[in-house]
Amino acid sequence: MPVTSAEAALAMLRWQIAMGADEAIGEIAQNRLAPPPPSPNLAPITAPPRPAAPLASPSAARPSPARPSPAGPSIVAPPGALSESLAEAAQSARQLAAGAETIAALGALVAGFDLCPLKRTATNTVFIDGNPAAPIMLIGEAPGADEDRIGRPFVGRSGQLLDRMLAAIGLDRTGVQITNVIYWRPPGNRKPTTAEIAACLPFVLRHIALARPRVLVLCGGTAASALLPFSEGITRLRGRWFDLAVPGIDAPVPTLAMFHPSFLLRAPERKREAWRDLLALKARLDEQDAAG
Ligand code: URA
C-alpha cells in the first residue's frame, strides 16, 4: 500500500516522541530541509580535494578541530558559564525562599522564578499536590510529561502507583503533600543536573521548614541524594530512617528513603522491598500517634 506524505510525517513525529524529542522549544518551526541561505560575506570554499586518509591511521583517530557551521556562527558559552549562572540562581532562590511565610507564598515565588533554565522548556511550574496542611510530605524527582501538562506532581502512571501505595497503608492525597526536588520538567525526562537541583533546593528546604512534617519520604535516588549527605545509591539508602536537620526547624525531621514509583513500574520485583518500607512508614506514624 502506498504511504502518503501525511502518514510519513506522522510516523516521523511518533518516532521523534519515542526518542524523547517531545518539546518544541523554538517560537517558529524550522525548515531543516530548506537549502542554506547564500552567505554574501563568504567566498565559496575551494579547498583542494584531500587525499583519502588511510584506514585507522593515528591522525584518522584524532578528533578534528571544531569548524564554524556554514549556516553561520552558533553562539557558544565558555565552559562553566552555565553553572556559574545556576550558582547565582541558587543564591537568588535562597534569598527569595527565606522571605516566604506560607507554602502558598512560596509556590507563588517558585512560579515567578525565572533563573532555572528548565523553566524555558517547561509548559507549567509543578509545585505541589495533596494537602499543604498535611503532616506527611513526599518528595520525588521532577515532573514528567503528564505533570508538565497538568501542573501538578505525580499525576501520571507513577502517580497512580504512588496513590495505590499510599492506599495500602490507609493514606490518600488529603493526608499527604507531594512535591519534587525540581519544579520544571527536564527535556525528554532526562535526570536533572546537580546545578539544576541546587537552583531549586532552597525552595524545597523552605517548603519542608514551612510544612514541618511529622515524616518526610524521599521517593527515589535523586530526591535522596539531593537531601541526604550520603553518596550511596537508593538501593542502599531505602528503608532507612534519617534525622534530617532543616534550616528553620528546631527538631530534625524523621526521613525515610524509598524506591521511586517509576522505578517500581520498571522493576516490579522490587515492590516487595517497597512494601516493607511502606509498613515501616505506617509503624512510625502509629508510634507517633500513640505518643500523642
Ligand atoms: N516523577 C516524579 O519524580 N515526580 C513527578 O511529579 C512525576 C513523576
Cβ(261)–Cβ(162) below 8 Å: yes
Residue 205 has a pLDDT of 97
CA 220 – CA 40 distance, rounded (Å) = 54
Residue 10 has a pLDDT of 74
* Residue 154 Cβ contacting ligand 1 at under 6 Å: yes
**Distance from residue 53's CA to the centre of ligand 1 (Å):** 50
* Residue 262 Cβ contacting ligand 1 at under 6 Å: yes
pLDDT tens per residue, range 211-244: 999 999 999 999 999 999 999 999 999 999 999 9
Residue 81 has a pLDDT of 58
**Distance from residue 145's CA to the centre of ligand 1 (Å):** 9
Residue 138 has a pLDDT of 98
Residue 276 has a pLDDT of 98
Residue 262 has a pLDDT of 98
CA 211 – CA 244 distance, rounded (Å) = 14
Q: Which residue, chain included where needed, has cell 500517634?
A: 289
Residue 34 has a pLDDT of 64
Q: Per-residue pLDDT for the chain (292 aa), expressed as one digit of tens each?
A: 566 777 777 776 666 655 455 555 555 555 556 665 554 443 333 333 333 332 333 333 333 333 333 444 455 554 555 567 888 999 999 999 999 999 999 999 999 999 999 999 999 999 999 999 999 999 999 999 999 999 999 999 999 999 999 999 999 999 999 999 999 999 999 999 999 999 999 999 999 999 999 999 999 999 999 999 999 999 999 999 999 999 999 999 999 999 999 999 999 999 999 999 999 999 999 999 999 8
CA 116 – CA 77 distance, rounded (Å) = 17
Cβ(204)–Cβ(181) below 8 Å: yes
Q: Which atom of ligand 1 lies nearest, measured to the CA of 158? A: 8
| Helix orientation angle between 81-98 and 103-111, rounded to the nearest 10 degrees | 150
* Residue 143 Cβ contacting ligand 1 at under 6 Å: yes
Cβ(107)–Cβ(90) below 8 Å: no
* Residue 148 Cβ contacting ligand 1 at under 6 Å: no
Residue type present at position 134:
A
Beta strand pairing call for 136-140 and 176-180: parallel
**Distance from residue 55's CA to the centre of ligand 1 (Å):** 48
Q: Which atom of ligand 1 lies nearest, measured to the CA of 140? A: 3
Residue 23 has a pLDDT of 55
* Residue 153 Cβ contacting ligand 1 at under 6 Å: yes
Structural Rg of the chain based on CA atoms: 24
Domain boundaries, the chain: 80-291
Question: Which is the CATH superfamily of the domain at 80-291?
Answer: Uracil-DNA glycosylase-like domain (3.40.470.10)
Q: Which residue, chain included where needed, has cell 579547498?
A: 47
